[in-house]
Structures are given as structure tokens and as C-alpha cells.
Amino acid sequence: MIDEFRAIPERDWAYSFHPSFDVPIKDTTQAYDLKLNLRVTGEYKYSNIYVLVRQRNPNGKTNTDRVQLKLADADGRWLGQGGGGLYTYQAAFKRRYYFPDTGTYKIEIEQNMRDNPLKQVSDIGVCVVPSRQ
């Protein structure tokens, strides 16, 4: 379906910056896995990140989920893929999800940490793929 990233300007994710993604849905009988894509630098100062994921349905109804991604273990070792100071994560926030209607959904992501701007976040995105049985 989609697997995209949006760059965070200057790696400083302000509260006011809400990247959005259009997700076209043609089949409501198909289950989907919804995942967050994230890239942070090795300078990111937290071991996790909280985001708000807003889903606007074609009929205008909006749902919001607060999602936490764990980025480092207790020893501070990054859990993501990468090197050279940039680490990539992909984590499911909904599994086997059925979209209620056909049409284009808009998924918007907002950072939900205490820092504004949240420094050293390079990219944020979503991945929506059919679930495997």
C-alpha cells in the first residue's frame, strides 16, 4: 500500500508540524497492519518517543491514538537499524485492522513529547500493508 517518510525540518520536530499521509482503501474486507516509520540521530536524547496518530476517515470522522516507540534498551543501546549516527525504526501500532469505509484516509502524526521542538528526529512516516494470515 504505502511505506513513506517525511523529513523533519532541520531535525527539530515542532508541535505545529504534523506530517500527513494519504492512504487509499479499496477493500474493507482486507485486514491491514499500520506501522510507524521513524529515523533519529545518535544525538537523540531519549530512549523512546510518544506520538499522536490521527486518522481521518473519508466521511470526516477522526480517531486519535497515542503511540510509544521504544528506541533504546536499558543500557542505552539503540534498537533501530542503521549506523553512521542515523537509526531507522518501524513498529506496528495497529495489527489486523479493518478500515470501515472505502476511500482515501489521511493519517497525520504529531510529536507528543515535552520538548518543543524535539531535537534530532530526522524523519517520520507510516507504512500500511495487507496483514499476513
Give the pLDDT of residue 84.
Answer: 76
Q: How many domains does the chain have?
A: 1
The whole domain housing 14 covers 2-130
Check which CATH number belongs to the domain holding 50 and give it: 2.60.120.260
pLDDT digits (tens, 9 = 90+) for 76-101: 899 999 977 999 999 999 999 999 99
pLDDT given at position 133 = 65
- DSSP output for 15-78: TT---EEEEEE--TTS-EEEEEEEEEETT---SEEEEEEEEE-TTS-EEEEEEEEE-B-TT--B
Average pLDDT of the chain is 96
